[in-house]
Amino acid sequence: MYGDDLRKALSSKILPEAKQNGQTKLAAVLVVIYGSEPTIIMTERPKTMNLHAGEISFPGGTWKQNDGDLLTTALRETKEEIGLNISSQQIIGQLRPVTTLNSGFTITSFVAIASDIPKLAPNSEIEEILHIPMFPLFKTIGDDKDSLHKSIQEMHTFRYEEKIIWGASARILRQMMLLLSKMN
């Protein structure tokens, strides 16, 4: 399943308004899908970072008031972190927000489909840019039964090569996987 089916499954209304609840900080990420075999771009954070050190995540970051809305945040942060310029016309949908457990962020994910990706350039916040085949990644889903966060009923992990994707990033991937499974 790709092309029109993928686009249809992941398309949704885009509501980028930054609504603060006073309990968490706002952040936005961009899920970029490209290629003839659907590939997603994720990043690995340096182990020296204060927040999310060594984690695998989507490009994105903290909302700033001068961004106006969360889509602007996701586009700005993606450009800053990996040098990828995505236009708002390439955004096809938005996933349900997820909240991080340790750092107190509510993350809004926007989905973009790009026909091709130029050479990317990571900034200092990015250790490595990962180009991950989407459907093989979905097959690696596992339950994190040893999770420190027993309060969450749905704690999943995904594996790419020797890397483990967990937390908010895994919950975003699982949302996508469930949306795509409804199309079959």
pLDDT digits (tens, 9 = 90+) for 121-153: 999 989 999 999 999 999 998 865 544 444 444
Has this prediction a pTM greater than 0.85?
Answer: yes
Cβ atoms within 10 Å of 125's Cβ, excluding its own: 17
82 CB contacts (<8 Å, ≥6 apart)?
A: 41, 43, 59, 120, 121, 122, 123, 126, 129
Q: Is 27 left (phi over 0), alpha (psi -120 to 50) or beta?
A: beta
- Count CA atoms closer than 13 A to 70's CA, side-chain side: 24
The residue written with tokens 């236009």 in the block is: 87
Give me the pLDDT at residue 149, please.
Answer: 45
Asked whether the predicted pLDDT for residue 22 surpasses 90, the reply is: no
Strand partners, 40: 33, 132
Q: What's the topology of domain 4-181?
A: Nucleoside Triphosphate Pyrophosphohydrolase (3.90.79)
Q: pLDDT averaged over the chain?
A: 88
Give me the pLDDT at residue 153, please.
Answer: 47
Is residue 101 within 8 Å of residue 149, measured between CB atoms?
yes
Which band of pLDDT confidence, cut at 50, 70 and 90, is reported for residue 35? very high
The domain ranges of the chain are: 4-181
Residues above pLDDT 90, as percent of the chain: 66
Asked whether the predicted pLDDT for residue 82 surpasses 50, the reply is: yes
Asked whether the predicted pLDDT for residue 170 surpasses 60, the reply is: yes
Question: Under DSSP, is residue 178 helix (H, G, I), strand (E, B) or coil?
Answer: helix
Cβ atoms within 10 Å of 46's Cβ, excluding its own: 14
Asked whether the predicted pLDDT for residue 50 surpasses 70, the reply is: no
Give me the pLDDT at residue 171, please.
Answer: 93
